[in-house]
Structure 1
Amino acid sequence: MVEIGHFALVLALALGLVQMTVPLIGARLGDERMMAVAGPVTLAGFAFTTLSFAILTLAYVQSDFSLQNVWENSHSLKPMLYKITGVWGNHEGSMLLWVLILVFFGALVALFGKNLPGTLKANVLAVQGAVGVAFFLFILLTSNPFTRLIPAPIEGRDLNPILQDIGLAIHPPLLYLGYVGFSISFAFSVAALIEGRIDAAWARWVRPWTLVAWVFLTGGIAMGSYWAYYELGWGGFWFWDPVENASFMPWLAGTALLHSAIVMEKRAALKIWTLLLAILTFSLSLLGTFLVRSGVLTSVHAFATDPSRGLFILCILILFIGGSLSLFALRASSLTQGGLFQPISREGALVLNNLFLTTATATVFIGTLYPLLVEAISGDKISVGPPFFNLTFIPLVAPLLLLVPFGPLLAWKRGDVQAAAQRLIFAFGAAILAVLVTMFLVDGSSALAAFGVGLAVWLVLGALTDLAVKAGLGKVALLVAWRRFIGLPRSVFGTALAHLGLGLTVLGLVGAACFGSESVLTMQPRQITEIAGKQVRFDTMEPVQGSNYHDERAHFSLLGPAAEVRHEIWSSRRFYPARQTNTTEAGIVTLGFSQLYISIGETTQSGLIVRLWWKPLVILIWGGGLVMMAGGTLSLLDRRLRIGAPAKKATKKGTIKPAVKPA
């Protein structure tokens, strides 16, 4: 079976070579038969890649330690869930998942792109095939997951204990679906440059794919943040690690691309800028792949430390980023310019949105790569951490968030700022009230924290105001307003939910960062301590034997006003014999949108070292991410994003017949 999996990967490479050449030549020659090859070959490549991935998964399930990849990352006593998730808990397996998702997106275009012009579809699949070929070669030449060990070891080395968690089942697949999903936008951009033509139909096709990738990347980043928060035992959710930044930069650029594509679709404007953004967004995804797998970074997130792999990925970066930008430089001047609009308009607001987002992306880019550049040139090691990003990123994002509620309330082509401001007067008043309440009743020592709370309220109520205005609330009867409300396009609800989710995330960030409490102390059994007005009692310490680990579990009780036990909390130190590694399993209890977080350290003569955090509103950080995902998904369900969807068209005789909307 293992040899079949390896051979399937080689066949997928061969099919990728056909996919990247034959349709491209056919598009140049106008040969429809050669262009028609793209669809079946793409689907066949996806089938063989799926077979290869399934066989590797089977090897993990069966604990086939004759495979070096399985031996290095699995153990016969490991729970079945972690045997399966261990497939992508390592460099080789995760790259195979990366390529599987890449060919999956190509197969989706082949299946659902029937309304695409033939030449555009052929060029898109050819570009997607070229990216696939590069990474198939990378896997087979430097990162083959099917390498054998002779003789086969009796037992495996086990998976990294930090990765033996449900988060591994969710975070990497979501993240890769986002990373790789932007490859479709990239392929459409390069295809448009090859063809030398771009129009609103192009934007109408790119926008749904961009939205899909954005939704998954949002989920991947949120899940990764929560995973680090509860698994690493340090009580934090983001510390501007270079690998964290590597996923954040495509998200920022993808958000800009999403808004730019809206302008292009609605007003045929920002054509060249949208093309460039699509190229840059996927380029940042490739950069993230390089940072994680090249060995240039030392991080808990990094997979590989082999320089030869880094050099291979660097060549891929130069080929696709340099090649696409060179093609852009050659063809951009020949593309037709977009439509005109007034600065005060919805288009203008979206352009301003793009300026802030791309500048913020550039800031994160510089802060991430500057230390690597200094080390490469001088050999000196410097670190760029939270102080730099807090001083540069936050001042750029704060004005953008202030302007977000205005955008949806402005008209296309020519807007009225005064009218939009009048509609937002209630949201503005509530935001000011939130600032005053925070300063005088919650914490008067931090004006920035109060401003953050007001900004979050402004975003949430601004999103709700948009829905209320579009429904005519206050101008028409309630029944009529309700009918208008339920009849609004799903994309309107999606936009409002995305902005509302952003506000919730901001509120969670401000609450956890500015209003939290921390306590570090040594505790004896039955000792009670207090944090943020809550009493916590350390009860007992007991050993527990797991399937492939030893646990020392500490039992804590959160006490109520009458000293009754309201919640039981378990926090532990875990030891994995196969890896000879210790981990910390934090104890967390959720109270509303806030959490009490307990992490234990070593046992000393004085007692057990305990760290406690009170994290007010911290759940909103990830809850806001889920709301943003829901907003993106709802926008995807909007019928207007389905190209070629049948629409009812009335004839002169009054009959109804199906029609097809032009792409």
Structure 2
Amino acid sequence: MIAELGHYLLVLALAMALVQAVVPLIGAARGDAALMAAGRGAAMAQMLAIGAAFACLTVAFVTSDFSVLLVASNSHTAKPLLYKITGVWGNHEGSLLLWALILSLYGGAVALFGRNLPPTLRARVLSVQGMIAIGFLLFMLLTSNPFERLMPPPAEGRDLNPLLQDPGLAFHPPFLYLGYVGFSIAFAFAIAALIEGRVDAAWARWVRPWTLAAWVFLTIGIALGSWWAYYELGWGGWWFWDPVENASLMPWMAGTALLHSAIVVEKRDTLKSWTILLAILTFSLSLLGTFIVRSGVITSVHAFASDPTRGVFVLVFMCVVVGGGLALYAWRAPALKPGGLFAPVSRESGLVVNNLLLAALAATVLIGTLYPLFLDAFAGTKVTVGPPFFDATVVPLAVPLLIVAGMGPSLAWKRGDLGAVLQRLRFAMVAALLAAAAGFAIGGFGVDGALGALGMMLGVWLVAASLTDIGERVWSRRGGGGRGGAWRRARGLPRSAWGTAIAHCGVGILVLGITGASIWQSERTVTLAPGDRAEIGGRTLEFRGVTQQPGPNYRSTMADLRLITGGSTVDGAMIGGRVVGKLAPEIRYYPTQGTTTTEAAIRTNGVTDVYVALAGAEPVDGKWSFRLYHNPLTPWIWGGALVMAAGGMVSLSDRRLRVGAPRRARNPAPGTVPAE
């Protein structure tokens, strides 16, 4: 009965989405307040219906109802409860339901918290959200029904993909979808603005918090996916330029450009047309990621489906959304009035350069991702575009981007003084040069040393420049007042300014982590018998033995290694020393699916990682194989991502950027649109 109820709720949600898409749009065209208000009710009803359907599917997974095909294909009675719940979205059909749920939550949030929006704009935004929901609900009901029955039900399920039975992958998809789907709000605002023919500072103020929230969620989602790949796949890396990884990175880059472009619209009433285009392209790239994951055109550990029928549906839907949005843009964008002028050296110019470089980065990744697919489809030739291509093309664009990002916040609006900015940032430049010297000292004067010095210089430059900008504002000589005055100015600074500085510091920390992991990583493969020792990156590991451990739905082969400091070398063998840590890498065998996973052991001090993975589940001549890695600064990759997300959340807490701000005045100011 639970499956039939869930299916009925999806049909009901589709009906509500149709009402949400059509009725408020007609009401906005006619100026009918009652019809426009109907969009809010339909959005709330759709949210409740999809939420209830999602709850039904969750109950089916938790209770192991194998009469539901999706549960039988992706669950098992012995699976831990956490993975029974996350199994809801650890598959194609369930992940689509999660996508639809998040889309409805965003629509419901606009209906609830967008009361200060002009009624016509809110109605059109909800209408566009309803149209998107129609596409995904039809996709589910016609090709990917999560409530399809299986009769007779099997006695046991086929279990979830073992790679997905991990805490990192439990939370990675929800955060990723909160980011992907969140950009649909920016898209809806852009389409609504094109229909109305009006883009102004108020529009930018309304669209920024939604875009910022989506950007924060997507940042966390990408970081969780990267962390999972690092410790779960056992290859010692954190990013491989996999097509599905790229599919999440492209909308993040475009969304970052959109955030900065919207600032210019809000502050200077310019870049309107470009900002609208970015909003359309950002969500288009999110849809492209959906197509890549579900079309079957690529093979990846991240891919959900390989049914070409589903891929064709997503492709058609994507073409309708993207093509329709771009066609409307081509028709209506020329009518948008250009804003004010600005000098070549100004904060506006810095943000324009930022946008162009981010757009170029996204285009580069897009070409590298899609080129092999097009070549295979049209010429039958299979090629691989991997890390060498992306490293060679992305780095030259990222270098000027990071330099400009450090200078941008210190530039004045409309007309800046480059000499004065460089004077203000002199200590940041000195710190960057010292970091470059440290990079050469670590890596020498070869290619690796030069790249390491460049990475260190850019990372420290961005951190130091961000701190300098905040320090200049807080410890302003003109403000006076000593420490008390500095404290008052610090409290008086907008949270968005603090958030920008924190996010830029996070980018700098991330760059430092990438530099260490990419340039100075050391690795080796060793075979050890119990009692043997091996050295990696100046650390000594002693192998104690292997044990077999039972798990809830797997069997584990677990090694016992000890991290040793001190000791001495006698006849080429290391003896003595003090145990400072334990590492327990393992290989898990899942009998239901007959597959294994690698669980790496990582010992970190916050600056470097000692990373150990078992290279085989069986010994050879009494010896076990291990892959050993020494990864300097690698923890800073995820630390930097978290700092970036924290910066976004601090900015989002600024009342000026939250939905519902500014407060509604009792007497509307001249030129404002009265509420209906």
- If the length of structure 2 is used for normalisation, what is the TM-score? 0.95
Specify the SS of the correspondent of 1:151.
coil
CA distance in 2, matches of 1:89, 1:39: 31
Structure 1 residues 593-608: aligned runs within 5 Å: 593-602=607-616, 603-605=619-621, 607-608=623-624
Q: Look up the match of 2:570.
A: none
Partners of 2:268 and 2:340 within 8 A in 1:
yes
CA deviation profile, 1:373-421 (whole Å, cap 9, x unmatched):
1001011100111111111111011111011111111111111111110
1:194, 1:533 → 2: CA distance? 64
Work out which of the residue numbers 440, 446, 450 in structure 2 matches 1:447: 450
How far has the Cα of 1:27 moved from its partner? 1.1
1:515 and 2:520 are equivalent in the alignment: yes
Where in structure 2 are the equivalents of 1:574-585 lying within 5 Å?
574-585=588-599
Aligned to 1:652: none
The aligned counterpart of 2:231 is 230
Partner of 2:490: 485
Moved more, 422-431 or 511-520: 511-520
Equivalence map 1:433-444=2 (5 Å): 433-441=434-442, 443-444=444-445
Aligned to 1:209: 210
- Give the Cα–Cα distance (whole angstroms) in 2 for the partners of residues 56 and 659 of structure 1: 47
> What is the letter of the counterpart of residue 130 of structure 1?
M
Deviation at 1:557, TM superposition (A): 0.2
Which residue of structure 1 aligns with residue 573 of structure 2? none
- Equivalences for residues 130-529 of structure 1 within 5 A: 130-441=131-442, 443-445=444-446, 446-473=449-476, 476=480, 477-529=482-534
CA distance in 1, matches of 2:98, 2:469: 40
TM-aligned CA deviation for residue 531 of structure 1: 0.8
For the 8 Å contact 1:646–1:659, the answer to whether it is kept is no
Deviations 1:257-279 (A, max 9, x none): 00000000111110010000000
CA contact (8 A) 2:562 2:580 kept: yes
Match of 1:654 in 2: none
Is contact 2:209-2:659 (8 Å) kept? no
Provide Cα deviations, 1:621-662, integer angstroms capped at 9, x if missing partner: 00000000000000011121135546699xxxxxxx999997
| Cα distance in 2 between the residues matched to 1:274 and 1:646 | 22
Distance 1:528 1:376, change over 3 A: same
Deviation at 1:180, TM superposition (A): 0.3
Partners of 1:349 and 1:407 within 8 A in 2: yes
Q: Unpaired segments of 5 or more residues in structure 1?
A: 650-656
Q: In the superposition, relative to structure 1, how do residues 646 and 413 fare at CA in structure 2: closer, same or farther (>3 Å)? A: closer
Secondary structure at the residue paired with 2:584?
strand
Q: Which amino acid aligns with 1:485?
A: A
CA distance in 1, matches of 2:207, 2:606: 40
Q: Percent identity?
A: 57
State the 1:574 CA deviation. Answer: 0.8
**Deviation of the 1:474 alpha carbon:** 5.5
Partner Cα separation in structure 2 for residue 270 and residue 648 of structure 1:
27
Match of 2:81 in 1: 80
| 1:21-42: CA deviation from partner (whole Å, max 9, x where unpaired) | 1111111122111111000110
CA contact (8 A) 1:27 1:123 kept: yes
1:20 aligns with 2:36: no
Q: Equivalent residue of 1:305, what SS?
A: coil
Distance 2:537 2:444 in 1: 13
- Which whole-Å CA distance do the structure 2 matches of 1:70 and 1:541 have between them? 35
**Cα distance in 2, alignment partners of residues 606 and 362 from structure 1:** 52
Partners of 1:537 and 1:556 within 8 A in 2:
yes
State yes or no: 1:550 paired with 2:555: yes
**Distance apart, 1:606 and its partner CA:** 5.3
2:565 maps to amino acid? G
SS at match of 1:37: helix
Code of the residue aligned with 2:621 in structure 1: it is: Q
Task: Determine which of 616, 620, 625 is the counterpart of 2:636.
Answer: 620
What is the DSSP-based 3-state SS (H/G/I as helix, E as strand, rest coil) of the residue aligned with 1:344? Answer: coil
Moved more, 215-224 or 333-342: 333-342
CA distance in 2, matches of 1:441, 1:127: 54
Closer/same/farther in 2, CA of residues 403 and 249 from structure 1, 3 Å limit: same
Question: Is the 2:600–2:614 contact (alpha carbons within 8 Å) kept by the matching residues of 1?
Answer: yes
- Residue 536 of structure 1 is matched in structure 2 by 541
Please report how far the alpha carbon of residue 442 of structure 1 lies from its aligned counterpart in structure 2 after TM superposition: 5.2
Task: Sort the Cα spacing of 1:648 and 1:321 in 2 relative to 1 into closer, same or farther, 3 A.
Answer: closer
Counterpart amino acid of residue 313 in structure 1: V
Contact persistence 2:169–2:224 (CA under 8 A): no
| Stretch deviating more after TM superposition (260-269 or 511-520) | 511-520
Residue 441 of structure 1: CA displacement? 4.7
Q: 8 Å contact 2:50–2:101 — kept in the other structure?
A: yes
Partner of 1:565: 579
The 8 Å contact of residues 113 and 659 in structure 2, kept in 1 or not, is answered as no
Per-residue deviation, residues 162-209 of structure 1 (Å, max 9, x unmatched): 100001221100000000000000001011111222221111111110
Counterpart of 1:264, as a letter, is V
Provide the rounded CA distance (Å) in 2 between the counterparts of 1:328 and 1:519: 54
Do the aligned residues in 1 keep the contact of 2:164 with 2:170 (CA within 8 Å)? no
Are residues 531 and 332 of structure 1, via their aligned partners in 2, closer, same or farther at CA, if it must alter by over 3 Å?
same
Tell whether the 8 Å contact from 2:179 to 2:215 is kept in structure 1 after alignment.
yes
Q: Give the whole-Å Cα distance in 1 for the aligned partners of 2:404 and 2:335.
A: 34
Q: TM-score, normalised to structure 1's length?
A: 0.97
CA contact (8 A) 1:646 1:658 kept: no
**Contact between 1:647 and 1:658, CA under 8 Å: does it hold in 2?**
no
Code of the aligned partner of 1:447: A
Aligned to 1:653: none
Q: Is contact 1:647-1:659 (8 Å) kept?
A: no
1:586 maps to which residue?
600
Contact kept in structure 1, 2:36 and 2:120, CA below 8 Å: yes
The superposition leaves residues 294-333 of structure 1 with CA deviations (integer Å, 9 ceiling, x where unpaired) of: 0000111110000000000001011000001001111111
CA contact (8 A) 1:471 1:481 kept: yes
Q: Whole-Å Cα distance in 1 between the matches of residues 46 and 550 of structure 2?
A: 45
| 1:483 CA drift (Å) | 2.1
Q: Counterpart in 2 of 1:55?
A: 56
Alignment length, in residue pairs? 656
Q: Give the whole-Å Cα distance in 2 for the aligned partners of 1:545 and 1:643.
A: 50
Aligned equivalents of 2:444 and 2:166: distance in 1?
37
Q: Secondary structure at the match of 2:552?
A: coil
Deviation at 1:444, TM superposition (A): 3.9
**AA partner of residue 638 (structure 1):** D
- Is 1:110 equivalent to 2:126 in the alignment? no
Q: Helix, strand or coil: the match of 2:585?
A: strand
In 1, Cα distance between the equivalents of 2:585 and 2:444? Answer: 31
Q: Which residue of structure 2 aligns with residue 610 of structure 1?
A: 626
Flag the 1:5–1:333 CA change in 2: closer, same or farther, 3 A.
same
SS at match of 2:64: coil
Which residue is 2:572 aligned to?
none
Which 10-residue stretch deviates more, 470-479 or 628-637?
470-479
